[in-house]
Structure 1
Amino acid sequence: MNPRAAPTLVAPWRRYLLLGTFGLALAGLLARAFYIQVWARDFYRRYGDRQQIRTAVLPAHRGRLLDRQGVPLALSAPVKAVCINPRRFHAEPGQLRRLARLLGMRPQDLEDKIAAHRQQAFLYLKRQLAPALAERVLALDLDGLFLRSEFRRYYPAAEVTAHLLGFTDIDQHGQEGLERRFDTQLTGMAGQVRVIRDRKGRLIEAMESLQAPRPGHDVRLSIDRRLQYWAYLELKRAVARHHARAGMLVLLDARTGEVLALANQPTFNPNLRDGRRRAAWRNRAVTDVFEPGSTLKPFAMACALREGVARSGERIDTAPGWLRVGRHVVRDHHRHGVLDLAGILVKSSNVGITRVALRLSPARFTACLRDFGFGQPTGIEFPGEADGFVPAARGLGRFEQATLAFGYGLNVSTLQLARAYTALADDGMLHSLTLLPRSTDPQPRRVLPAGVARQVRHMLEGVVTPEGTARRARVSGYRVAGKTGTAKVAVPGGYAEDRYRGLFVGMAPASAPRLVLAVVIEEPRGKAYYGGQVAAPVFSRVMGLALRLLGIPPDEIPAAPPLLARAGGLQ
Structure 2
Amino acid sequence: MKLDGALYPWRFRVLVSLLGIMVGAIVWRIVDLQVIDHDFLKGQGDARSVRHIPIPAHRGLITDRNGEPLAVSTPVTTLWANPKEMQLDKTKWPALAAALGQDPRELAARLEAQATKEFIYLVRGLTPEQGQTVLDLKVPGVYGIEEFRRFYPAGDVTAHMVGFTDLDDHGREGVELAYEDWLAGVPGKRQVIKDRRGRLIKDVQVTKNAKAGKTLTLSIDLRLQYLAARELRNAIVENEAKAGSMVIMDVKTGEVLAMVNQPTYNPNNRKTMFPASMRNRAITDVFEPGSTMKPISMSAALETGRWKPTDKVEVYPGTLQIGRYTIKDVTKTEGPILDLTGILINSSNVGMSKVAFDIGGENIFRAMSAVGLGQYTGLGFPGERVGNLPNHRDWKKAETATLSYGYGLSVTALQLVHAYSAIANDGEIVPLSILKVDGKPQATRVMPEQVAKTLQGMLQQVIEDTRGVYRARVPGYHVAGKSGTARKATIGSRGYTENAYRSLFAGFGPVADPRYAVVVVIDEPSKAGYFGGLVSAPVFSKVMSGTLRLMNVTPDNLPNTPQEQAQAQPAASKGGRG
1:30-69 equivalent positions in 2, closer than 5 A? 48=45, 51-69=48-66
The residue number in structure 1 matching 2:426 is 427
| Structure 1 residue 374 corresponds to structure 2 residue 373 | yes
Aligned mates of 1:470, 1:170 — CA distance in 2 = 49
Shift in alpha-carbon separation, 1:32–1:220, aligned structure 2, 3 A? same
Contact 2:89–2:140 (CA under 8 A) maintained in structure 1: no
1:404 Cα shift? 1.1
Contact 1:59–1:151 (CA under 8 A) maintained in structure 2: yes
Aligned mates of 2:92, 2:430 — CA distance in 1 = 64
The residue number in structure 2 matching 1:384 is 383
Amino acid at match of 1:539: F
Contact 2:504–2:536 (CA under 8 A) maintained in structure 1: yes
The residue number in structure 2 matching 1:260 is 257
1:153 Cα shift? 0.8
Shift in alpha-carbon separation, 1:566–1:305, aligned structure 2, 3 A? closer
| Structure 1 residue 497 corresponds to structure 2 residue 495 | no
Deviates more, 1:445-454 or 1:551-560: 551-560
Aligned mates of 1:178, 1:152 — CA distance in 2 = 16
| Structure 1 residue 317 corresponds to structure 2 residue 318 | no
Aligned mates of 2:169, 2:160 — CA distance in 1 = 17
1:112 Cα shift? 3.2
Contact 2:430–2:441 (CA under 8 A) maintained in structure 1: no
The residue number in structure 2 matching 1:39 is none
Deviation readout 1:378-401 (Å, 9 max, x if unpaired): 121111111110112225421121
Deviates more, 1:217-226 or 1:315-324: 315-324
| Structure 1 residue 403 corresponds to structure 2 residue 396 | no
The residue number in structure 2 matching 1:412 is 411
**1:276 is matched with which residue: 270, 273, 276?**
273
Amino acid at match of 1:540: S
Instruction: Return 5+ residue gaps in structure 1 as ranges.
Output: 1-16, 37-42
Deviation readout 1:145-176 (Å, 9 max, x if unpaired): 11000011111111000100111111111111
1:344 Cα shift? 0.7
Shift in alpha-carbon separation, 1:468–1:173, aligned structure 2, 3 A? farther
Contact 1:145–1:202 (CA under 8 A) maintained in structure 2: no
1:205-284 equivalent positions in 2, closer than 5 A? 205-284=202-281
1:220 Cα shift? 0.5
Contact 2:87–2:115 (CA under 8 A) maintained in structure 1: no
Aligned mates of 1:180, 1:552 — CA distance in 2 = 35
Amino acid at match of 2:507: G
Cα-Cα RMSD: 2.7
1:378-527 equivalent positions in 2, closer than 5 A? 378-440=377-439, 442-465=441-464, 467-491=466-490, 492-527=493-528
| Structure 1 residue 533 corresponds to structure 2 residue 534 | yes
Deviates more, 1:303-312 or 1:339-348: 303-312
Deviation readout 1:111-149 (Å, 9 max, x if unpaired): 233234333322211111111111111112111211000
Aligned mates of 1:320, 1:559 — CA distance in 2 = 42
The residue number in structure 1 matching 2:86 is 89
Aligned mates of 2:333, 2:558 — CA distance in 1 = 34
Amino acid at match of 2:271: D
Aligned mates of 1:174, 1:528 — CA distance in 2 = 40
Q: Secondary structure at the match of 1:169?
A: coil
Q: Secondary structure at the match of 2:248?
A: strand
Q: Secondary structure at the match of 1:388?
A: coil
1:27 Cα shift? 11
1:118-157 equivalent positions in 2, closer than 5 A? 118-157=115-154
Contact 2:96–2:139 (CA under 8 A) maintained in structure 1: no
Q: Secondary structure at the match of 1:364?
A: helix
Q: Secondary structure at the match of 1:167?
A: coil
Contact 1:318–1:339 (CA under 8 A) maintained in structure 2: yes
Q: Given the two structures, how large is their TM-score scaled by the length of structure 2? A: 0.88
Deviates more, 1:227-236 or 1:267-276: 267-276
Contact 1:432–1:441 (CA under 8 A) maintained in structure 2: no
The residue number in structure 2 matching 1:295 is 292
1:566 Cα shift? 7.4
Shift in alpha-carbon separation, 1:92–1:144, aligned structure 2, 3 A? closer
Amino acid at match of 2:536: A
The residue number in structure 2 matching 1:341 is 340
Q: Secondary structure at the match of 1:502?
A: strand
1:365 Cα shift? 2.2
Amino acid at match of 1:495: Y
The residue number in structure 2 matching 1:563 is 566
Contact 1:484–1:536 (CA under 8 A) maintained in structure 2: yes
Shift in alpha-carbon separation, 1:213–1:152, aligned structure 2, 3 A? same
1:44 Cα shift? 6.8
Contact 1:431–1:441 (CA under 8 A) maintained in structure 2: no
Amino acid at match of 2:483: T
Contact 1:323–1:329 (CA under 8 A) maintained in structure 2: yes
Contact 2:427–2:448 (CA under 8 A) maintained in structure 1: yes
The residue number in structure 1 matching 2:549 is 548
Q: Matched residues, percent identical?
A: 43
Amino acid at match of 2:332: H
| Structure 1 residue 160 corresponds to structure 2 residue 157 | yes
1:49 Cα shift? 5.5
Amino acid at match of 1:258: E
Aligned mates of 1:135, 1:234 — CA distance in 2 = 44
Contact 1:143–1:201 (CA under 8 A) maintained in structure 2: no
Deviates more, 1:368-377 or 1:327-336: 327-336
1:455 Cα shift? 0.4
1:26 Cα shift? 13
Deviates more, 1:248-257 or 1:305-314: 305-314
Shift in alpha-carbon separation, 1:32–1:420, aligned structure 2, 3 A? same
Amino acid at match of 2:500: R
Amino acid at match of 2:299: A
**1:194 is matched with which residue: 173, 191, 196?**
191
Amino acid at match of 2:260: A
The residue number in structure 2 matching 1:40 is none
Contact 2:459–2:481 (CA under 8 A) maintained in structure 1: yes
1:466 Cα shift? 5.1
Shift in alpha-carbon separation, 1:203–1:474, aligned structure 2, 3 A? farther
**1:111 is matched with which residue: 76, 100, 108?**
108
1:439 Cα shift? 4.1
Q: Secondary structure at the match of 1:87?
A: helix
Contact 2:480–2:509 (CA under 8 A) maintained in structure 1: yes
Contact 2:364–2:404 (CA under 8 A) maintained in structure 1: no
Structure 1's consecutive aligned runs of 4 or more residues displaced over 6 angstroms after TM superposition are 24-29, 43-46, 564-567
Q: How many residues align?
A: 541
Amino acid at match of 1:445: T
Deviation readout 1:455-481 (Å, 9 max, x if unpaired): 011000012125244211111111100
Instruction: Return 5+ residue gaps in structure 2 as ranges.
Output: 1-13, 34-39, 572-578
The residue number in structure 1 matching 2:11 is none
1:180 Cα shift? 0.3
Amino acid at match of 2:566: L
Deviates more, 1:283-292 or 1:432-441: 432-441
Deviation readout 1:184-216 (Å, 9 max, x if unpaired): 000011111122334542334422111111111
| Structure 1 residue 78 corresponds to structure 2 residue 93 | no
Contact 2:476–2:556 (CA under 8 A) maintained in structure 1: yes
Aligned mates of 2:359, 2:213 — CA distance in 1 = 53
Deviation readout 1:13-35 (Å, 9 max, x if unpaired): xxxx9xx99xx899969x989x9
The residue number in structure 2 matching 1:173 is 170
Q: Given the two structures, how large is their TM-score scaled by the length of structure 1? A: 0.89
Amino acid at match of 2:474: V
Q: Secondary structure at the match of 1:174?
A: coil
Aligned mates of 1:80, 1:468 — CA distance in 2 = 63
Q: Secondary structure at the match of 2:84?
A: coil
Aligned mates of 1:468, 1:255 — CA distance in 2 = 31
